[in-house]
A and B are shown apart, each in its own frame.
Chain A
Amino acid sequence: MDSVGWMALGATILIASTLMDRLEQQHINPYTIPGLLPGLLGIAMIVLGGLLALRSWRRGGVKRPPSNPTAQDRAQRRRLWMVIALCMTFDVALVGHGLPFWLAGWIFVTTSILLLQHATRKAAGQKLTARVLLKAGAIGLGAGLAITLVFQEIFLVHLP
């Protein structure tokens, strides 16, 4: 499966490099065309992808039956996609659209801690308490304010 992806990527790079402008109207030296190295990299990727496919075929990788995920695997996968969704929402929707960074940070950190702790506690048969909610809110606010203060005010780094 990996090998097919690598070979496809290599072929795409090779085709794009071949079709790339050779700057003939600028009368450049033909050995310095911009697509030279990318084209060679594409060829190398196809060759190595092919070797990967050959090795996998020799080891019987194609015939291997798919493994059945356990309940733990499923929980881990759910948790992973939740974290990816949280991080993408923060970076794509909250940051850089007018919301102050400390506020965006507060919302993100608090929500993440609560959702992650909820998942852990649910597995242990426990519920989120008011104390946990308050603690998460305080940590989120502290993190948002501290990062803004240190980066923007002390070290004069521009924040999104």
Chain B
Amino acid sequence: MLQGLSELGHAYLGFLNFTSIFYGLGGALIGIIVGCMPGLSATLCIALLTTLTIKLEANDAILILICSYVGTLYGGSRTAILLNIPGTAANAASCADGYALARRGEAGRAIGIATSGAFTGTLFGVLCLAAFTPTLAEVALSFGAYEFFWLALFGVTMSGSIVGNDPIKGWLMGLLGLFVAQIGQEGLYAHNRFTFGTSELAGGIALIPALVGAFGFAEVLTTLADPVEKKLVELRDSVLPRFREVAQYWRTVLRSGVIGVLTGLMPGVGEDSGAWMSYAAAKATTREKELFGKGSIDGLMAAETGDMASIPGHIIPCLALGIPGSAPSAVLMAAMIIHGIQPGPMMMIEHPQFVYDVVAMTSLATISILIFGLFLVKPLLLVLRIKRTVLMPIIFLLCTVGAFAGASRLFDIYCMLGIGIGAFFLRRRGYQMAPFVLGLVLGGLLDKSLRRGLVLSDGSLAPFFTRPISIGFATVTIFTILLYAPAFKALVRRITGAAGRGIGSLFGRASKIKKEI
């Protein structure tokens, strides 16, 4: 405990220098600018910055990436409030109330509430990150091949079930991601799988080009396919953060912080789930239900606190288990591996200081968004006036550089193109990219864990279902899949009755509100 606190203090002191503060503020600023531009996601921002920072020291590079992650999600609220278009998917829940406030001439107030909600949400998440990551990593040290097999499968199943409205499509995308991860030399015998004799495919499909394609090029196509430019609401009132309203709505802030962190812990679920569930929970408990969707402070505060608290929540499993909580955290994990830091249970043994460094980095990111929320709101809004027809070709240029820079292979650019076009058409048909990304990240782990587990048990499947932690993961995974069968669902409802209705209705209400808005 005391050693942990001393390492945390050491981490904070390590970032109190001009270079770190400059990198932190720079990363957050780039993130806010990217977040302000509709269609550009946190995943794309982190993927592009990963290539840009490839030659920097590990701590400096990860600091920039974490600050840009926090900045992008915070910046996305501006577009939601002023244009009624979420800057990133996570800000969609802020659109209804934020835009309603802006149309009433209270755009500045809405941005101030978003800033204070984002600040307190991230701060709450940082506390959970510092408290739970070392504990979770210690628990994960007892994991073997069987537990990791179920953990990987659990991640893809949960992601497929929760993201989007169609679990079958979600699981299919998860399977596609797992399959794509099998392309290339496999990990046990270096045997080439699905390479068709080409040396390029033997190296596999790299994560960064795949993510730049799925989240960058696909977004460029989506944005340019719809040429309508929306009009910006004028900003007349003060944009200063409203901490008095944080105190007034402290229950909402605390509840949304907890929901945000908990949804963040679920693999591959994404920040938008944190926002929607917090919004649904606030709507269920508030006394001013009629104001929701028409400019409710409670609603806007819940959405912004929930999505921002989920960022540190997503980083917790990424660091402790090596399982990313969202697509942006998957890129963050890839960046850590590129810089020689392997996330996962061994991290607390190999790089114990790094976990505390990440806590300090996220704290710096939180302070950065507050600074930009205080001083740079109006100048940053100029970004929103750039025409999409001008911006998107430049973004594509960056996508090309981002795909190429990691390994200097033209093949990666072609992968980015292929995956981007595929992702665009799949998204149009209602398929989500988050389960695909999680499958791509966890495919290698699933393959190795399954085969190692079978070797250890001499072909017996029993240890996969009898070891205590395996039973837990296996039960939840199989239960989640079976819930799609109507007969099983009816049976569960009959058995659980009112007890399970609470959590179930939260999920249900969140997706219902999402559909309505």
Contacts and interface: CB of A to CB of B under 8 A. Distances in A.
Interface of A: 2, 6, 13, 16, 20-21, 23, 26, 28-32, 34-38, 41-42, 44-45, 48-49, 51-52, 55, 76, 79-80, 83-84, 86-88, 90-92, 95-96, 101, 105, 108-109, 112-113, 116-117, 119-120, 139-140, 143-144, 147, 150-151, 155-160
A101 B413 CA distance: 14
B418 to A, nearest CB: 10
A104 to B, nearest CB: 9
A120 B193 contact: no
Contact of A159 (B55, B396, B401, B417): B401
Contacts of B194: 16, 38
B451 A32 contact: yes
- Closest A-B pairs by Cβ, 6 of them: A31-B454, A112-B393, A116-B389, A32-B451, A37-B447, A34-B191
B193 A20 contact: yes
Contacts of A160: 400-401, 404, 408, 410, 413
B451 A36 contact: yes
Contacts of B429: 2
Given A37-B450, A95-B410, A113 B393 contact: yes
Contacts of A158: 404-405, 408
Contacts, number: 163
A87 B227 contact: no
A83 B134 CA distance: 47
Contacts of B175: 41, 44-45, 48
Interface string B392-436: 111011101100110010100110110001000000010000000
A119 B421 CA distance: 21
Please classify the interface of chain A as helix (H, G, I), strand (E, B), loop, or mixed, using the class held by over half of its residues.
helix
B144 to A, nearest CB: 16
A116 B224 contact: yes
A55 B221 contact: no
A120 B389 contact: yes
A120 B221 CA distance: 16
Nearest to A109: B393
Contact of A38 (B188, B193, B455): B193
B517 interface: no
A91 B224 contact: no
B446 interface: yes
A150 B178 CA distance: 35
Nearest to B52: A155
A147 B401 contact: yes
B140 interface: no
Contact of B393 (A20, A88, A101, A108): A108
Contacts of A116: 224, 227, 389, 392-393
B168 A51 contact: yes
A107 to B, nearest CB: 11
B397 A105 contact: yes
Given A23-B191, A116-B227, A158-B405, 9 more contacts: A34-B186, A90-B396, A92-B414, A120-B227, A150-B52, A156-B55, A157-B52, A158-B404, A160-B410
13 contacts: A29-B455, A34-B191, A36-B451, A38-B182, A45-B175, A52-B168, A88-B417, A90-B396, A105-B397, A144-B397, A159-B401, A159-B404, A160-B408
A80 B225 contact: yes
Given A116-B389, A147-B401, A26 B189 contact: yes
A76 B226 CA distance: 7
B172 interface: yes
B220 interface: yes
B397 A108 contact: yes
A37 B451 contact: yes
B200 to A, nearest CB: 13
